[in-house]
Structure 1
């Protein structure tokens, strides 16, 4: 009732501050500051590049400071930068502010996922990670709805609707940052938040019990401190762990397709003949439906422990929706077209949380897990960076060429998931044979979770 809701809320405003550009575009933001679609794409790329650049350094800093201070301070800072977007006047200002927003947001997602992993057992983690990512996907769903109301303030006190949008959502983000600073506990070994009593009191005895729960899953049944100094050597060792590379490549490819969907779905709906307010509301339906879909795949993953299968099935479902959209869209009416785009948005991220959990379960210790989460998010954000170019102005309004590209990269991502599954299966076969002949348990080879 404390850790997960607060991290969820932080990720919700994180996504609002990234997503509100899509709604601002429906309110004349592009015309007001004299930019074209290529500049919008470039701004998104600079934001994602900033996240990638500081992802690992941010996670290393998190380990030194701890989430109790770092997570809240980070939300407060990127909330301030998001608020300053209301002052943008031209192309240069737009590109600069998007760059700083990306730098400030770096580290929040892997930091949040890592923090959750310090509180929950492996069998509990996938559902909690899914709920955490509800913050991102829920923010994606709420953003157009909130925008449809906020944009009606257009002209009040001399501010445009898009300025009110950046201002109100940015100030709310800073408020959430203060909540995290005051109430977020650090870890089972340091359960007290900065605020003396906190929302939920965790006694010293309860903290020890929490540590014992986590310790039962370690090979030696010993609890290790969850907040350690991460050296460059550990970062390099994790980066060179080639058996997990398909995770990173698949994440980058498939998640890249989410970038154009989040940026242009409201304007695509407007092109069907809907006005601005209904278009923003209708654009939120798919992201809302995605929430139970994400959770269902997470439950399937936890109950069956077939982690790779859950990821593969989720990606295949998404691939089918893209193929159906591309092949039938030109032959149906506007409501059917809206329905097709809605279904695509519903399945666009069903694989994402379960893939994150699958990677976490195949990490060794808190240091490896922390760096691996940073690399995973870097891969995802890199995908968003180049995925920003899938939808081009000369492909409007329904981006048929962009959809073909998305079908190709999602297919490649599904193939990489199968490759990852094969690597783990082959390694486990060899490790079991080796362990059967090894008398010294300290030299046993670890098995991966397929």
Structure 2
């Protein structure tokens, strides 16, 4: 005897509509390989991914950015003076952190592919949070340089690894938009970091700790709490959707798992192992790295990020040097980051509306270049509020192209494994630019 529920499941699997909409089903699936399930069932399964995997990876990137960015606000709280280091040492420390990320970017991405996201990503965020807390105990130059280098090692591979993880859940047509949403974790971190710092730094002297120590401590504890959330709720793969511990808030049924796995197979027939993860052989890595058409993406990303790098460290200090107090300077530093969200949305809208990814990226980078030139020419001749406006404009346009560029890179990759390595190379280019850019602003450049 077949139960009523079993008959219902069988009926749903057979009620496939042959004319699905682009949003509610995967139109990348070829007509000759139409799946045997109802598009409503596919939408339900994909929504579960949208409400678990995507926001959790977004949250992980947010805390990475918070812990990486808080050095900028710590400097306004007397951090460099308290530990007895110069601006050159701060630049060197950031350079070491970015170097650590670059060196281990691809190896960590491959390790995640073997271990699985549930274990690797959760452990990575936990270690990063622990090292972030250790900054509370920095006393001298050696301690600062060591912790910055360790932070780089701990962060390596997270962005390409998260993008790879997303590619194990979404079809080609769905992936670009989800990766763009994921990157808003970075922009969100940029926006809220100085705002949080403006409040936390007011704890200066409480329980014998300096304001910058409270900053590292509280944001590091928040990062560790996020790692616990990942352990409890991050699904592994369509084949093994349960989190590492517990059942998770949203449960994937066997039908959900089958739909998610089968639609990926129909979308590209990727080579999946028994854990539902994609194998990335060395031949794919070599093919991707030596593909000359990829390198203009990497070079342009390197150049733009090198100019943005010093802004991520010194914007609050620059605004403070204009005559604003510490709290106001950190609050004003957040304005550019919030406007950057609108800039990113605007260029993303133009990109989607015109379907011209390359032209949108070039237009966004051109706007940034024009803003830099205007700021350089005008700044010496205006007052403090106008100079703040110029710095805010520069911060607003600095990374407006970033998510669109990511989509552009992905859309030019036919193999998801090649896509994963291309994103890793692209992130390495951005981090290399950040590493070089740490030396752009020197102490003798003051006051301009």
Cα RMSD over matched residues?
1.6
Alignment-derived partner of residue 407 in structure 2: 357
| 1:228 counterpart = 2:278 | yes
| 1:368 counterpart = 2:418 | yes
Alignment-derived partner of residue 250 in structure 2: 200
Distance 2:142 2:369 in 1: 37
CA shift for structure 1 position 236: 2.1
Out of 170, 186, 211, the residue aligned to residue 161 of structure 1 is: 211
Alignment of 1:27-426 (within 5 A): 27-218=77-268, 222=269, 224-225=271-272, 227-398=277-448
Distance 1:151 1:303 in 2: 43
Q: Is the 8 A contact 1:212 1:223 kept in 2?
A: no
CA pair 96-76 structure 1, distance change in 2 beyond 3 A: same
CA shift for structure 1 position 296: 2.7
Alignment-derived partner of residue 440 in structure 1: none
CA shift for structure 1 position 330: 2.0
Alignment-derived partner of residue 10 in structure 2: none
Distance 1:162 1:112 in 2: 30
CA shift for structure 1 position 223: 5.2
Using structure 1 for the length normalisation, give the TM-score.
Answer: 0.84
Distance 1:142 1:96 in 2: 26
1:257 is paired with a residue whose SS is helix
1:259 is paired with a residue whose SS is helix
1:181-228 alpha-carbon deviations (Å, 9 max, x no partner): 21111233332222332122222212232334444543xxx3542623
1:384-440 alpha-carbon deviations (Å, 9 max, x no partner): 000111111111133xxxxxxxxxxxxxxxxxxxxxxxxxxxxxxxxxxxxxxxxxx
Q: After alignment, is 206-215 or 55-64 more displaced?
A: 206-215
Q: Unaligned stretches of 5+ in structure 1? A: 399-450
CA shift for structure 1 position 350: 0.9
Distance 2:277 2:104 in 1: 19
Distance 2:382 2:115 in 1: 55
Alignment of 1:14-25 (within 5 A): 14-25=64-75
Q: Is the 8 A contact 1:131 1:295 kept in 2?
A: no
Distance 1:359 1:42 in 2: 31
Distance 1:216 1:309 in 2: 31
Distance 2:348 2:232 in 1: 30
Q: After alignment, is 195-204 or 312-321 more displaced?
A: 195-204
Q: Unaligned stretches of 5+ in structure 2? A: 1-50
Distance 1:369 1:148 in 2: 39
CA pair 151-261 structure 1, distance change in 2 beyond 3 A: same
Q: Is the 8 A contact 1:72 1:178 kept in 2?
A: yes
Distance 2:374 2:173 in 1: 35
Greater C-alpha radius of gyration: 2
How many equivalent pairs are there?
Answer: 395
Q: After alignment, is 311-320 or 28-37 more displaced?
A: 311-320
Distance 2:387 2:174 in 1: 39
Alignment-derived partner of residue 11 in structure 1: 61
Using structure 2 for the length normalisation, give the TM-score.
Answer: 0.85
Distance 1:392 1:245 in 2: 30
Q: After alignment, is 226-235 or 52-61 more displaced?
A: 226-235
CA shift for structure 1 position 262: 0.8
Q: Is the 8 A contact 2:167 2:175 kept in 1?
A: yes
Q: Is the 8 A contact 2:271 2:278 kept in 1?
A: no
1:373 is paired with a residue whose SS is helix
CA shift for structure 1 position 24: 0.5
Distance 1:299 1:217 in 2: 26
Distance 1:199 1:307 in 2: 37
